[in-house]
Structures are given as structure tokens and as C-alpha cells.
A and B are shown apart, each in its own frame.
Chain A
Amino acid sequence: MKLDARVPAGPLADKWMSLRDHLKLVSPANKRKRSIIVVGTGLAGGAAAASLGEMGYRVKAFCYQDSARRAHSIAAQGGINAAKNYQNDGDSVFRLFYDTIKGGDFRAREANVYRLAEVSNAIIDQCVAQGIPFAREYGGTLANRSFGGAQVSRTFYARGQTGQQLLLGAYSALNAQVAAGTVVVHPRTEMLDLVVVDGRARGIITRDMVSGAVECHVGDAVLLATGGYSNVYFLSTNAKGCNVTAVWRAHRRGAGFANPCFTQIHPTCIPQAGDYQSKLTLMSESLRNDGRVWVPIAEGDDRAPGDIPEAERDYYLERIYPAFGNLAPRDISSRAAKRMCDEGRGVGPGKRGVYLDFAEAIGRLGENVIRARYGNLFDMYERITGENPYRAPMRIYPAPHYTMGGLWVDYYLMSTIPGLFVLGEANFSDHGANRLGASALMQGLADGYFVAPYTLGEYLAGAKLEEVSPAHEACRATLHEVDQRTARLLGVRGSRTVDSFHRELGMLMLDRCGMSRTAEGLTEAIAAIGRLREAFWHEVKVPGAGAELNQELEKAGRVADHFELAELMCRDALARDESCGGHFREEHQTPDGEALRDDESFCNVTVWEHRGEGAEPAAHVESLEFETVQLAQRSYK
């Protein structure tokens, strides 16, 4: 597997613009002849499909949801970062770049992250022009809030529904192109495999989730914008349908998978309440602007929070990280919460929780101000828990949320399969070992609006692409494999439900490959996953048939892929014999329990190559060269 990141030469700040000046162009007449497949209609996919349609390409967009408007980007709450410096607090493109690369614990590619910061401002312009009702100051200018890992206020937001509004903006741009006839959207259609012809990505195999019809769609390039894989943990903040299948199938066809063990466990989620629980709900990080995190100083203190006097509380984030306090980055806050609970100071049922307390802010600002800022989040909390967070502190606990790992891409966002581009959370490129808050929306839209539409042209203009039809041998062979796999899932006819396997896998992964990891635990997990996967293929029960709306069949295919991914995550976590960002190997920590990086051996990206069923995957390495930033121990103290 050849890994050439194709980072342009020249000073960091000039790389992107000088590349853009020299990228090959596709003429308008030729754009009309090119067909592009976009899988996923979230921020990255929706924005890319709309932009490519505007440019004149023929675009087919696919999503598993019943409408492109429901992609999981919609659930992002807090905001989107940009280097506008509207607050006059000293922000700049360089600072946003630096915070992001430091936030990722120096495990991301410098040039990609700089470009992300560079295009961030254009995203805000674009979104405002689309009619996204961002929060405003009374004077009419845009408002900002603060997010973790930054000492400037650069996050733009629309109440607690920023992701929803940005997604509906991209969806409206997509609709305009559907009306113009450049984009055709295929909702309730799931990608089940990638078609590779002569070493290039040329199509996908899909299943119509209503009729069950399996089809091949061909194109000149394939863009995957299918999100992350936190649902490998079963309980996560992801939507129930989020899955790794598109990415995993592409990996099996030759796309390298980078840093699969880099996952983000988000610090502020509502704790699990019972065994029947189907998902975990995030409480936006923005709450930490005004909420203070604490646990009782004494172990096993069972008093109600209001009965614990100030002197007997440990505001541990403020104590340990005085410079950033409650706005310490996610990986650090999550680990700290886990440590408090491991020490026996957790609160609530099961003692896996910490308090997020607004009493001080309500006293200082009044309940109305807090209601205006976070009202919908408070309501959401009350609906789920039955407790009123205006009266008593929220209880929160970390939950799997975002995956920084993903398919390896070069500077052009192209994977190791020519013609296969990967955008947004599905790729690995920008967040290193930990993503900062409000950076996911920024990256999705950067990739979709401002990067892929340009870099794709370079590929199309430079590639000799023969005509491929769905009757092509490669299409038929891939389609046949998909049919066989479906038949195999339906044919097991065992006695255990898909969910029971998924839950068991999730518990195993959270325990062994979650917030803290050890060589011993990971080795055991690899064996246990193998056994569970074996049991799945002998005991799973998938009712119904293939040629109908069959939600259990959909889930079964996804869980089968999650098993394979889970194993790779553990292998990657084992191979990365250091701690960095969200990847915390207990063997590698500083005396005060912080992640201890090993830059000598691991200042790199691990890229895994699939080598066939049953064979061990091969690990390749892309070294990370830092020309501009100085590698330092990441400190928020």
C-alpha cells in the first residue's frame, strides 16, 4: 500500500491557495458528462453533492434515512468554529489551526488542519447567505460562545441546534440542485459495497430499503461521507442507524483504514439508566460555559447534591486544570470524570456520574438568561431523567461520541483507491487523537463545500476513465457477493437477536477499548471478539426476507461489519504503544495521570490494509512531519 499524502510544497499558509491556482480544471461541457456518486447526505455529503451539482456535474446522492434532511449531522448541538475574530479576542487562522492540532495531541497532518482553519471563515459566510439563523448580538452582528480547548470565543451557534440548522442549509442547497436537475437523491438506500474497476472506484452496490432490490450504480468517482463508527459501542450518542458498512466495505476493497482506535468519548452525556437503554444522549459541551463540574470530596457520599456544602465539594476540573477549568478538552474531561468515579466519588444510581451544576450561573445571571442560552437542553434533560436541572445539578457521564479515525486520505481527500474520496467524519485527516468541540461541523462543511469540489476536478481531468455500465463484470461480481452475504445472514436462522450480539460487543469494546486501554485487555478483547463473531454467524436470528422492508436485516449486516471493525480497533490500540488524546494506554501516563506520548516512535498515522478474510491486516505508517508547530506536552493547566 503506497501512502503519498501529496501535501503541496511551500510555506504552510500558502499551500492551499497555491494548489488551487494550479489544480486542473474540468470544462463545463465535460462536467456535464461526468457522473459522481455521493454516499451520505450529512454536512460533508450534502454540501459536496450540492456544490458539485452547481458546478455542473451529474450527481447521485444516497442516504439510508427517509430524507436527506435527517442525516446525523442534524443532532450536533453546540456550534461551529471559525477564525473570524469577531470578538476581538486575538483569534486568527493560525490560532484556530494551532488549537486544533494541539487539541488532537499532535497526531494530525499539519497541512490539512491549516487548510481547515483557512476555509473556516468562508463556511460562516456561506451558511449565513443560505439563511441559517445564527445567534446575533443586539446590534445585528453574529454572536459567539466559547468551547473546550480554546481561550478565544470563536464558536457560532443557533440555539442548541447548530447541526440541525447547518444541515438544513446544506439540504436546501441540495434541494435547489435537485430542482435544477443536476442531483438525484436516493433516500432509504443503503450502500452495501464498492465497485472497483481497473483499480479505480467506479460504482457502488445499494439496497433499496423498502423493496429490498439490490442494484449497481456506476460513476466516474465515488465520494463517501458516511460519518463515524461510534455505534460499534452499541450505546453511543450516534443515531441508531449510523454504521460503518460503507467505509468498511471500501476498506475491504483496498482503502487503507487510518487510526481506527482514535475514538472520542464525550464528557457530558446523560448517564445510562437501565439495561434496556438504546442510546446515550449528549448534553452539549456549551453547557460547560456556565456549568461547573463537581463530585463530593468524600467517597460514597450519598447525600443529595443540595445537602453537600461547598467545602465538601471537589470542583475537580477547576482544581486540576486552572487555566481552562470546566472548558478543558473532551478527552481530558472524560478521563477525569472516569477517575473520580473509579475513586468511588461518582454520583447517582450506579455511581457512574458527576454533577454539572448551574446554581452559581443562575445566581449570577438569573434563571431567564440560563433558559435563553440552554433552555432546549435543560428541557431535553428533564424529559429523559424526570429531574429539573434548574433546581438540582445535572448528572453527566462520558459516552462514545465521535471517531477521529477513518479511511486514510491524502491532501486531496482521496483514499488509497483512486477515485474514492472520503469526506467528513468518515476520513481520518483533521482531528488527530482528539477532536475539539465545534470542529466536526467545521470539517464536514469544509470538506464538502470548499475542498472536495476542487480536488475532485484534478482527479477527473487527469484520469482516463473508460465507460463502465452496471452490466460490467466487476459490477455483476460485486452485486453477486452482496446477494450471497444477505442470503447468508438470512440463512443462519439461529436463536439470538441481532441486538443481543451488538450489546455484548459494545460492552466489551467500552470496557477494553474505551476511555482506558491496556495491552492485556486489548489482547483478550481481540480473542473475545473473534469468539463472539463466530457465535453471531451461527446463532443470529434474522426474521423475514431480503426482498422487503426488513429492519432486522439492515441491522444484522451492520453489526457483522462492526465485529470486523472492532477487531481492527483493538489491534490498532494495541499497536499504538503510547497514550495520546483519547487513546489512553494505562502503561503510558505521566505521574499525574495525563497521557504520555511517545513522539520518537509514534509521531505517525497507522494505516491498515485488509489482506483477505481470516488473514491478519498489514500495518503501514505515514510519518507526520511538523514544519511549523513545536511538539509539546499538551497542557491545559
Chain B
Amino acid sequence: MKLTLHVWRQKDARDPGGFKTYQLEDVTTHMSFLEMLDVLNQDLITAGEDPVAFDHDCREGVCGACGFVINGVAHGDQKGSTVCQLHMRHFADGDEVTIEPWRAKAFPVLRDLVVDRSAFDRILTAGGFISVRTGSAPEANSIPIPSEAAEHAMDFAECIGCGACVASCPNSAAMLFVGAKIAHLGLLPQGQPERERRALAMVEAMEREAFGSCTNYRACEAVCPKEISISGIARMNKDFRRALLSGSNRASGKRR
């Protein structure tokens, strides 16, 4: 099939950037979306133009590297999938496809479709962990965890950190991402000792970055490739409030 692509091109962070249109012939239905871009890039290189830069790595939906907006939807219009899992059989001959990077102040564009998501790393560094020194762990079966609790935690632990939630949120909020980690660790007994401290530290770190706040649009949940529930945000808010009220705000070193 033939496609018309409108692709965001931007040389670097300083360049204002803009859309460029490309025609692609002979796209087959079995191709993945990224393979379709590979074909475009081979054509561009051969024609002496710069290929389109985009992040990608595992190409099986788990590393979280890929992600851009396709026809206005983060990761495209297939529910519960990343761009690399989207195949061209979901498009029709003659379609026009608009491709642009995540748009969020906290995710500056580095080139074309590549954005800087290091804000996510900084938030997790603030508290997205259980402090346990190597070699100091108790016997694994010494803490029984109901299967349901482990599965519930896993629902949140599946987050791949792709950033689609931020890109699709009208406020560019990172709360689904932050809530997922707080819920994952907060649902497990191992996560209890640092639970309040974690919520405070991560929420404060999130506020230091250029993310907005949640106003319950639920756009994040709709595009999340791992279909993470916004109940994680409720858990984050609950833990954060509980931490404030219990006065365990030593993580930040200041009184709220």
C-alpha cells in the first residue's frame, strides 16, 4: 500500500522544527510501524537526506525506548501497545499518517522524534526503591505474600517508563508514572518501611520537574501500553497525604 507521512523534523533542541511530507510506496501489512520507518530512512539516506531519528531498542514492547504520537495518539491507535508492536495491517492504502514526538515541557526534543526523558530517572532516584543492601536480604519465603497482592503489585510494576502518559495528558502530568511505582512498592510488605518517605520524596521530585498535575482526564490510562490503572494515582495521593499528616516528611528535610 501507499502512505503519505507527515513527519516532525527538528535538527536539535534549538531548532524550531516543522513537518515534512514523504510518500512511501510498497508498504506491506506485515511490517511493524518502525520497520516502515526503517524503509523510509533507507530511502532518505540513499537520496542524500538525513534519516529520521527515533528512539527504539527491543522492538518487542518492553524496553520503553520507542514512542511518538501517531495521528494524535501516543503509540498510535492500538490499545495496550507500544509503537514497535503496531503493525501496518492497521493502516489502509492511501492513508495520511502524522508522526510527531512526545510534546511536554519536561521532555525536550533532542532531534526529530527523540526526546529527553531523564526527568523520569530523577524522580525514581528520589525514592523509587526499597533500601536493601546486597547480601542483607532475608530468606525469600520468610515473607508470605498473597498471590493476589503480588499480582496487583505486578500490574503496576509492569510500567516501561515510555512517557506516553505524559505526552497524552493535557497537563503533561507524570502522575500515572509516579503513581505506578508508588503503588507497586506500596502494595508489598517489603515496601512498607519507606512507604511514606517514598511518596513524599517522589512527589517532591516530580514537582521539581516541569510536569503538570492530574485533573482526571484519564488520557494517560487510555494510551498506556501496559494499561496501568489510574488507581495508582489515587494510591499516590493517599500515601502522600498520609505522609504529610503523620509528619514523616523528613525525606525533604522541611516541614509542610
Contact = CB atoms under 8 A, between A and B. Distances in A.
Contacts of B32: 278, 384
Interface stretch (A61-69, A252-260, A569-577): A61-69
Interface residues of B, number: 81
A541 B45 contact: yes
B120 A67 contact: yes
Contacts of B35: 276-278
A125 B56 contact: no
A528 interface: no
A241 B188 CA distance: 34
A69 to B, nearest CB: 6
Contacts of A551: 51, 53
Interface residues of A, number: 83
B129 interface: yes
A417 B116 CA distance: 36
Interface in A29-77: 47, 50-51, 54, 65-70, 72, 74-75
Contact of B64 (A70, A124, A187): A70
Nearest to A119: B135
Nearest to A77: B62
Contact of B62 (A54, A74, A158): A74
Interface string A127-139: 1111111111111
A72 B114 contact: no
Contacts of B185: 131
B140 A125 contact: yes
B120 A138 contact: no
Nearest to A54: B133
Interface string A273-289: 11011110110000000
Given A129-B190, A133-B154, A450-B134, A172 B128 contact: yes
Contacts of A276: 28, 31, 35, 38-39
Nearest to A175: B125
B140 A133 contact: no
Given A158-B154, A164-B158, A495-B46, A130 B58 contact: no
Interface stretch (B92-100, B145-153, B164-172, B213-221): B145-153
A507 B126 CA distance: 46
A321 to B, nearest CB: 29
10 contacts: A66-B116, A67-B117, A70-B57, A130-B129, A159-B158, A168-B157, A239-B63, A274-B30, A450-B135, A548-B11
Interface of B: 11-12, 28-32, 34-35, 38-39, 42, 45-46, 48-51, 53, 55-65, 78, 80-81, 85-87, 89, 110-111, 114, 116-118, 120-121, 124-141, 143-147, 150-151, 153-154, 157-158, 160-161, 184-185, 188, 190-191
**8 smallest beta-carbon distances between A and B, as pairs:** A140-B144, A129-B137, A172-B129, A125-B137, A239-B57, A133-B154, A51-B134, A133-B153
Given A131-B153, A136-B150, 12 more contacts: A67-B161, A69-B121, A69-B161, A74-B62, A131-B157, A131-B188, A140-B146, A165-B154, A173-B132, A239-B57, A274-B31, A379-B80
